Amino acid sequence: MNRLISIDALRGFVMVVMLIDHIRETFYLHLQVSDPVDVFVTSPELFYTRFVSSICAPVFIWLTGLSAWLYMQKHSKIETSKFLLKRGIFLVVIEITLIAFLWSGKYPPDMFFLQVIWCIGVCMIALSAMIFLRSWQILLIGITIVCGHNLIGDFKLNSDSMFYIAWAMLYQREVIDLGVIIARTSYPILPWIGVIALGFVSGPWFSNTITIEKRQKKMLGYGFLGFFLFVVIRSLNFYGDHPWINTGEFTTTLMSFLSLTKYPPSLLFNLSMLSLGFLFLFLFEKFQTHKFVQLMSHFGAAPMFFYVLHLSVLKLIYEIGYFILGPNEGQYLSFPNVGYIWLAFIVLSIALYFPTKRFAEYKQANKDIAWLKYF
């Protein structure tokens, strides 16, 4: 059981890091950040504030696949498939109801943003079918999608195409106008299905037949190998993302090199972030008794609770601040500089830790309550 602390810790770590970007998206909207980031109009401090949260979605979705494999070790494939299907549908519904309200402050919102919770839900639904395949087939699907989808990156459909809606959900980040409902596919799902598949086939790393030393060796090896491949492929500048530019200045050249496409996630985006995730998983397992790892594991033991809680708190603070102070940057109430994002991150991380820890303990003590599994 101790070995699972590292998984909870990594999940919790990326959830906490996610908080940085959601603070930015709440209190720094007067300076929009493109995808990939335009290094010529974005300050280094804002660029790296955005960059640090890049690890969140790839690692969390990879861990979702890994957790599905662990779940299947105590349940049949049919039971696992049903759980993934029900949880996936639950997440999709939560995204277009509660999460939509928490982001917009009203319901229905002017536009439904199909974001990461929707994406995870659809990926789980896809995985509920994939688990009936053989492991090598799931691995092949994952590698093919993650490594090969950039080949179709330039394929676009117009809104008058009968396949437009399906393609917008799968790959083309677009607005879907159905008349009474307008939605934006913030997280096109195809590449993420590849990531959750790779997470599932990584499950045997945590098999009882694998020693801790061998597992840690795999994490470290794949982490460094992934980084090596990222640097080589990115340096060659021919595939896996948009080209980087040598600007003649070290700062902006490095930013250009690291400016990767997240929507949908490019090969190089996933390769770099998953490699970093492997290294963090290695560290969290090797030092799982460390206080920091224990703290992160509490966040990771109740991820959905933390997600709903932090969005609720951010929206409440923003609305109160807007009511009292009014807008100071056009239509937005915004922090004066990036430093305030990091200050708010520290304060909120501490404040949100205690209710999340309490809920995680309640969840652990009441495993017979079925709905708690969804949080």
pLDDT mean across residues, the chain: 95
pLDDT for 300 equals: 96
Name residue 143's amino acid.
I
Mean pLDDT of 204-216: 92
Residue 187 has pLDDT above 50, yes or no: yes
- The more confident residue out of 270 and 153 is 270
pLDDT for 1 equals: 41
Q: How many angstroms separate the CA atoms of 71 and 368, rounded? A: 16
Rounded alpha-carbon distances, angstroms, from residue 161 to 156, 185, 330: 10, 17, 37
Digit-coded pLDDT (tens) for 285-297: 999 999 999 999 9
- What's the farthest any 2 CA atoms get from each other in the chain? 61
Residue 373 has pLDDT above 90, yes or no: no
Residue 224 has pLDDT above 60, yes or no: yes
Do strands 175-177 and 182-184 pair parallel, antiparallel, or not at all (unpaired)?
antiparallel
**Domain total for the chain?**
1
Tell me the residue range of the domain where 332 lies.
4-374
pLDDT for 372 equals: 82
| Nearest residue to 301 via CA among 339, 354, 356, 249 | 356
Q: How many angstroms separate the CA atoms of 336 and 154, rounded? A: 38
Residue 2 has pLDDT above 80, yes or no: no
Whats the size of the chain, residue-wise?
A: 375
For residue 196, give every residue at least 6 positions away whose Cβ sits within 8 Å of its Cβ, in sequence order, or none: 61, 62, 64, 65, 68, 123, 124, 126, 127, 142
Q: Of 31-35, 202-206, 369-373, which one has max mean pLDDT? A: 202-206
Digit-coded pLDDT (tens) for 239-282: 999 999 999 999 999 999 999 999 999 999 999 999 999 999 99
Share of the chain above pLDDT 90, in %: 91
Q: What is the pTM of this model?
A: 0.96
Digit-coded pLDDT (tens) for 313-322: 999 999 999 9
* Per-residue three-class SS string for 32-90: CCCCCCCCCCCCHHHHHHHHHHHHHHHHHHHHHHHHHHHHHCCCCHHHHHHHHHHHHHH
Residue 48 has pLDDT above 90, yes or no: yes
Cis peptide before 204 (omega within 30 of 0): no
Number of neighbours of residue 242 by Cβ within 10 angstroms: 15
pLDDT for 179 equals: 84
pLDDT for 34 equals: 87
Digit-coded pLDDT (tens) for 156-184: 999 999 999 999 999 999 999 988 899 99
3-class state of residue 139 by DSSP: helix
Digit-coded pLDDT (tens) for 333-350: 999 999 999 999 999 999
- The more confident residue out of 4 and 228 is 228
Residue 135 has pLDDT above 70, yes or no: yes
Q: How many angstroms separate the CA atoms of 146 and 153, rounded? A: 12
Digit-coded pLDDT (tens) for 82-110: 999 999 999 999 999 999 999 999 999 99
